[in-house]
A and B are shown apart, each in its own frame.
Chain A
Amino acid sequence: MDMSQYLGMFIEEARDHIQSLNDNMLKLEENPEDLQLVNEIFRSAHTLKGMAGTMGFVNMQKLTHAMENVLAAARDGKLKVNPNIMDILFKTVDALEAYLDVIVATGTEGQEANSHLVNALNAILGKPAEDMAVSSTSKAGKKYEYDEFVVRAIERAWTQGFNVYKFDVELDQNCLLKSARAYLVFRAVEEFGEIIHSKPSVQDIEDEKFDFEFSITVISKQPLEKIRERILSISEIREVKALEIKSGEVGRAEEKEEIEEVQQETQVQETVKVVRQQKQEPVQKTSKTVRVDIERLDVLMNLVSELIIIKSRIEGLAKKYNDRQYEESIEYLERITTSLHDAVMKVRMVPVERVFSRFPRMMRDLARELGKEFELVMSGEDTEVDRTIVDELGDPLIHLLRNAADHGIEDPEERVKNGKPRSGLIKLSAYHDGNNVVIEVEDDGKGIDLEKVKQKAIEKGLLKEDQIDLSDQEIIDFLFMPSFSTKDKVTNLSGRGVGLDVVKTKIEQLGGMVEVKTQKGKGTKFIIRLPLTLAIIQALLVTVHDEIYAIPVASIREIVDVAKEDIKVVQKGKEIIMLRNQVIPIKHLHSIVGLEPVLDKKKFTVVIVRRGEKLTGIIVDRLLGQQDIVIKSLGKYLEGIRLISGATILGDGAVAMILDPNMLTV
């Protein structure tokens, strides 16, 4: 049977299990006595083992099996978890993740057997290294292991003069309906004797939970060869290995019994769960979920975008007719498209937890690696953002968190000396702020040494020595320049600056921005502000000459009319206006987009845009109004035009450029 169709499901589910292994192991590390957690971990490992086995990933199966044994011992109180054991378990989880990565890339688990880990796990239980082969899967071994019940049946059979045979049946690779084939084998064998054991279990065989092989143990008075031939006479059987089990070759497999017990246990729990779910169903409908391929959602999103474009087009046409019914229908259409848009957006929203969840583990490793002490506190994991954004957030956040750990947090001794608690604190939080989502990475470390940054900027020739009147913010901006590092020795983790320019570029690509607040000796805070969605935004359409531009409404503070005489020219020809006692620099959109400004007007329309706390006024010719626009990329050929964040198609089919507000501010 072709397993590839299950591969996607396997990968998704294995990811979930590995994540929960990581999560629970981190918790266990803090509460080593918590048996509940050990149980959880055991269950994940056990399921993972079963899944890997079903998919034919033997190495992965062996590793999880060894892990499961250790966990079983811990659960039964035969073993106490200690940091050493935890380390090995964490490494095992890493190895499992590596398997999964290989599986994602190639569809096979690869060659890595991870025998050192299997040995290490076995060593915890005091098993010798060569015992690593899973006893129940060994076929060539002279000793046959069964559980107590089967062993007794076998012994009884011998005393009654029966023979005991074991048949390893291998089905043809092209065999469809494996379970039906197996059933035929069972029925054929039962003509001659009694099947007292099968591996996998009859239940699993019926559910097709086996590869192409299964083995059965039979008691019979008939000769071995006769039964073997009968099995081979069934079509699509590739090979039957028949063995007679002689007395003295049978052993009791204690460990296996245990696993069976666990299986029963989990089965019971599963039925309990099902029952409970059925009970809750009328109350809690939200628990019904479906996994959907993101590509299908993208298609849906595109269709909604098209609908919004055609809607604005029809709205434009409607103005020509003055028909009431026509207008009403259009209003109705407008309501439906808006709701549809909202609904599709919501489907695409996922909690930032998706990215956050891997950080506790990363920070734990980082603390060990750096020899520092700090705690990671996360909040707002349930804040939802568009899936496309969440997917891109991982890398920038890793940079910032590493940055905080490596450069922000001081060594424990230094902290104590400065009157701080020995252990540092790194906070990662997310929250909604209007149409934005804000993500903050904050540490209570030593803060950014602005003087040092300035020195470095001079050294690199980015700053002249006499330029001393720089604001703190302007100095901090140097950190975001490519290959700017304040660390004298760049570690393999990060050099402050080496990653920061990447962070900034990435966030700006996503239509967001990064701010830094720092206080010497108190700590540093990186604030990332991102739009909730990338695809459809509210924009203000403006004109300069005969060109139409869209400015995202989210970045507009207000719109004012300014008389010509109120525009003042300050140092080096910079134009400013005063708005409620605040100085606001202004720019002509004409010049920004490379056109001649119109200067001989009495009144100018100024759109005030903000970037963080900075305000800039943009002079435009005329306002066309506000509308939902669909953001379309300019494509790979035109990428890298910093001023333009995309294009949109207007109601009449014309194209308008969307201005990147981050580039508008001075």
Chain B
Amino acid sequence: MEQYLIFRLADEHYGLSVNHIENIEKLMPITRVPHTKEYVKGVINLRGEIVPVIDLCEKIGVEKEEFGEETRILIVNWKGEFKVGLIIDEVLDVVYLSKEDFDQATRDRNEFKFSIAKYNGLLINIINLEDVLFEKAEEV
């Protein structure tokens, strides 16, 4: 059993293991950083720490929604090496998922591969953080 944060990107459900998540922040001013990839929205001042922020919708190719009241930034910590904020449309729930909840199938979306989990009749795309944070070699 592992805990997952379930959140919404446009009209789809996504999940990310809570082990990676350090904090959930409300949207705050983002400063653009020149010469970065389109999905890198810039950096935020997270209580004195500079943290890059990426738009998860843009990164994985989900249709973009305007930032609103429910928009949140998930602060994830990559192996203690760096922190990155992921912008998502709405936090829904924190749930336990066990192996049985996972479907055999996976789903491809652009260059990303998601595992599929079923929960309360919903289909949840489980994100592999490594895929999101790092560019694929062929893209370079």
Contact = CB atoms under 8 A, between A and B. Distances in A.
Nearest to A305: B48
A370 interface: no
Contacts of A636: 81-82
B3 interface: no
Contacts of A633: 50
A330 to B, nearest CB: 21
B43 interface: yes
A625 interface: no
Which of A547, A633, A647 has the most chain B CB atoms closer than 10 A to its own CB?
A647
A657 B33 contact: yes
Contacts of A306: 48
B43 A643 contact: no
B139 to A, nearest CB: 15
Interface in B100-125: none
Contact of A647 (B40, B43, B133): B43
Interface string B16-33: 000000000000010111
A655 B44 contact: yes
Interface string A616-643: 0000000000000000111111100111
A644 B36 CA distance: 11
Contact of A641 (B31, B36, B133): B36
B30 to A, nearest CB: 8
B20 to A, nearest CB: 14
A635 B31 contact: no
Contacts of B32: 547
Interface residues on A, range: 20 to 34
B15 interface: no
Contacts of A643: 34-35
Interface string B69-105: 0000000001001111000000000000000000000
B45 A654 contact: yes
A641 B45 CA distance: 19
Nearest to A548: B31
A653 interface: yes
Interface residues of B, number: 23
A655 B34 contact: no
Contacts of B83: 635, 637
A656 interface: yes
A573 to B, nearest CB: 21
A502 B32 CA distance: 30
Contacts of A637: 52, 78, 82-84, 133
Nearest to B29: A654
Nearest to A657: B33
B40 A638 contact: yes
Nearest to B81: A636
Interface in B48-63: 48-52
A171 to B, nearest CB: 42
Contact of A634 (B29, B45, B50, B133): B50
Chain B interface helix/strand/loop/mixed: strand
Contact of A309 (B36, B48, B52, B84): B48
A594 interface: yes
A594 B34 contact: yes
Contacts of A592: 34
Contact of A593 (B34, B45, B81): B34
A636 B50 CA distance: 11
Contacts of A635: 50-52, 82-83
A649 interface: yes
B34 A638 contact: no
B33 A641 contact: yes
Contacts of B133: 637
B82 to A, nearest CB: 4
Contacts of A655: 29, 31, 42-45, 50
Interface string A452-484: 000000000000000000000000000000000
Nearest to A595: B34
Interface of B: 29, 31-36, 40, 42-45, 48-52, 78, 81-84, 133
16 contacts: A547-B31, A594-B35, A633-B50, A634-B43, A634-B52, A635-B50, A635-B51, A635-B82, A637-B82, A637-B84, A641-B34, A642-B35, A644-B35, A649-B48, A654-B45, A657-B31
Interface of A: 306, 309, 547, 592-594, 632-638, 641-644, 647, 649, 653-657
Given A635-B51, A644-B34, A647-B33, 18 more contacts: A547-B32, A592-B34, A632-B49, A636-B81, A637-B78, A637-B83, A638-B33, A638-B40, A638-B43, A641-B35, A644-B35, A649-B45, A653-B29, A655-B29, A655-B43, A656-B31, A657-B33, A657-B34
